[in-house]
C-alpha cells in the first residue's frame, strides 16, 4: 500500500513538473501579433506621411494621390482585423479619420486641404496608438 501511494505521489510530482515546462504558444502568438501590428502601423504611418507630403506639392499630382490612397488602404487592411480584435477603442478612433482620408484620396478631384487636415489628424492617432504598443 505504501508503495502504491509512493508511486502515485511520484507520478503527481512528475506531472506537476512537466506541466511547468510546456510550450505556451498563446504567449508567443500574442507577441507575434503585437509585432505584426507594430510593423503594420509603421507602414500605415509612412503612407499617411507620403500622402500629406503630396498635398503640399503642385496641383497636378491627383493621380499620385489616388494611387497612394489605394496603397494606404492595402496597408491598413493587413492589420485591420488584428487591431479591431486586440484594440477595439483605438481601432474605432483611428478609423474615424482614416477611412474619410482614404475616400478623399481616391477621388478624381482631390481636395488637398482636407486631405492634409485628415492626414495630420490620422498621424496623431496612429502615433498615439503606436506608443501604446
> Tell me, what's the pLDDT at 29?
45
Indicate the pLDDT class of residue 133, thresholds 50, 70 and 90.
confident
List domains and CATH numbers for the chain.
31-132 (1.20.120)
Q: Which cell numbers hold the place of 127? A: 502615433
Q: How many CA atoms lie within 13 A of 77 on its CB side?
A: 7
pLDDT tens column, 34-66: 789 999 999 999 999 999 998 888 667 889 999
Q: How many CA atoms lie within 13 A of 93 on its CB side?
A: 13
- The DSSP code for 58 is -
pLDDT tens column, 105-130: 999 988 999 999 999 999 999 999 99
Q: What's the predicted TM-score (pTM) here?
A: 0.75
Is the confidence at residue 27, as pLDDT, over 50? no
> Do the Cβ atoms of 53 and 98 come closer than 8 Å?
no
Amino acid at each position: 500500500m505504501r508503495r502504491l501511494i509512493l508511486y502515485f505521489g511520484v507520478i503527481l510530482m512528475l506531472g506537476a513538473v512537466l506541466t511547468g515546462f510546456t510550450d505556451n504558444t498563446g504567449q508567443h502568438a500574442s507577441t507575434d501579433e503585437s509585432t505584426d501590428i507594430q510593423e503594420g502601423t509603421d507602414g500605415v504611418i509612412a503612407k499617411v506621411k507620403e500622402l500629406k507630403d503630396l498635398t503640399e506639392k503642385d496641383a497636378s499630382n491627383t493621380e499620385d494621390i489616388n494611387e497612394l490612397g489605394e496603397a494606404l488602404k492595402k496597408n491598413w487592411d493587413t492589420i485591420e482585423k488584428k487591431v479591431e480584435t486586440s484594440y477595439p477603442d483605438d481601432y474605432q478612433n483611428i478609423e474615424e479619420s482614416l477611412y474619410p482620408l482614404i475616400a478623399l484620396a481616391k477621388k478624381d478631384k482631390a481636395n488637398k486641404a482636407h486631405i492634409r487636415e485628415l492626414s495630420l489628424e490620422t498621424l496623431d492617432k496612429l502615433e498615439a496608438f503606436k506608443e501604446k504598443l
